[in-house]
A and B are shown apart, each in its own frame.
Chain A
Amino acid sequence: MSKNLIKQGAEARVYTTPFLTRAAIAKERFRKTYRHPLLDKKLTDRRLVQEARCLVKCRNIGVDVPAVYFVDLENRTIYMEYIEGKTVNDLLADGAAITTEESDELAKKIGEALAKMHAAEMIHGDLTTSNLMIRDVNKSLAIIDFGLSFITSCSVEDKAVDLYVLEKTFLSTHPHAHHLFLTILKVYGESYNNAKSVLRKLDEGK
């Protein structure tokens, strides 16, 4: 298998790899040696399953994410669709290379996707602009890296924190695109019934 390492985080290594005639991503979670082996296995399994389930659920509620192909619990690996595209982080890094129209279009896609997720009580857990991608083929927005995702029990706080993480990315990495974030919140507010309490909580936290 010709694997290519493309990312290494605290939790996993991410490779590109061919998988049954398709280009795929293999996300392999680390063994944490500081944990008791039984605990490590239990936790890793649980997290893998959670990530796979969240990805499949997103697809069911109309949020574009990498398609799950195969979950290999024994080897702590998920195989999923390799998405051809650019991250929003890369797009915004160009600075002025994005028009107001494009910016509004982007904000609309992001706001709507987040609204759908939160309406389904799903928290992404790591919403940064590096985890938002625009597909080359149809310019649709795809959300990636659900390694920290979970289903919440209607917690306004969890949803506010989810948005707060995204806001911090904008503030620290794309300060010039702050209006884009504000448009995201506006669209989110319009697309999600319970957005008001979430947005209020987000405001309170500051």
Chain B
Amino acid sequence: MYSSSLEPFPSHGLVHISLYRNVKNAKELRKRLLSRDTELCYAFIDARVILDKFQVLVASNIAIYNETHNKLITHNVHSEVVYSLSPSTNIRESLKNHGLSDDSTDVIIVKIGDSAETVQAHLARIIKGEERDVKEITSCVDLARVKKCYKIVDGISDREELLKAVIGSIAIKNLS
């Protein structure tokens, strides 16, 4: 698991990023999320649309910024992380494309706040899968899915260039 504080919000606490592969209970988790189960205070992200940990950090940063300035568009900071990953301002579409799907097997979990130990332990209890090093995030990606999701029509093959295009579209999403 990766844990760090974000430079723009030094006193806000830590952001934890965890990767689980071969997840078997995505459907169950999704159902619990939809019913607003308060035990699931996390952002669950389908790893297929994530190129790099940096992408997750950028979205988390935006979510914390929105919360800090009372500009949350979704219900809470965790759903805001998922929403912020999307280039679309449509909440439903964003959560659908970037959040958990019933068939998600590689899942990235983000927790804002709390301690690494608590989070790690809790995730191990609720997720039926294998926790992996976040370095593996780059192996879970489905490039075609990313390009479709972020509407990248150009034949960008370079991963770094693709990442920059994705980050850029996230960064300017909610600017008037």
Interface residues of A in 167-203 (CB under 8 A from B): none
A56 within 8 A of B: yes
State whether B7 touches A18 (Cβ < 8 A).
Answer: yes
B23 within 8 A of A: no
CB-contact partner of B57 in A20, A52, A73, under 8 A: A20
CB-contact partner of A81 in B61, B164, B165, under 8 A: B164
B65 — which chain A residues lie within 8 A by C-beta?
70, 72, 74
B167 within 8 A of A: yes
Q: For residue B168, which residue of chain A has the nearest CB? A: A56
The distance in angstroms between the C-alpha atoms of A56 and B164, with both chains bound, is 9
Residue interface bits B1-15, CB-to-A below 8 A is 1, else 0: 000101110100000
CB-contact partner of A71 in B7, B53, B171, under 8 A: B171
B165 — which chain A residues lie within 8 A by C-beta?
59-60
Distance from A115 Cβ to chain B, minimum over Cβ atoms (Å): 17
B72 within 8 A of A: no
State whether A21 touches B176 (Cβ < 8 A).
Answer: no
CB-contact partner of A21 in B57, B154, B169, B172, under 8 A: B57
Interface residues on B, range: 20 to 34
State whether A52 touches B175 (Cβ < 8 A).
Answer: yes
CB-contact partner of B8 in A52, A53, A70, under 8 A: A70
State whether B57 touches A67 (Cβ < 8 A).
Answer: no
State whether A67 touches B175 (Cβ < 8 A).
Answer: no
Distance from A149 Cβ to chain B, minimum over Cβ atoms (Å): 14
The distance in angstroms between the C-alpha atoms of A1 and B54, with both chains bound, is 18
State whether B175 touches A70 (Cβ < 8 A).
Answer: no
A-B contact pairs, 25 of them (CB 8 A): A1-B7, A17-B7, A18-B7, A20-B7, A20-B58, A20-B61, A21-B4, A21-B57, A22-B54, A49-B172, A49-B175, A52-B172, A53-B172, A53-B175, A59-B164, A59-B165, A60-B154, A60-B165, A68-B167, A68-B171, A69-B171, A70-B171, A72-B65, A79-B8, A81-B164
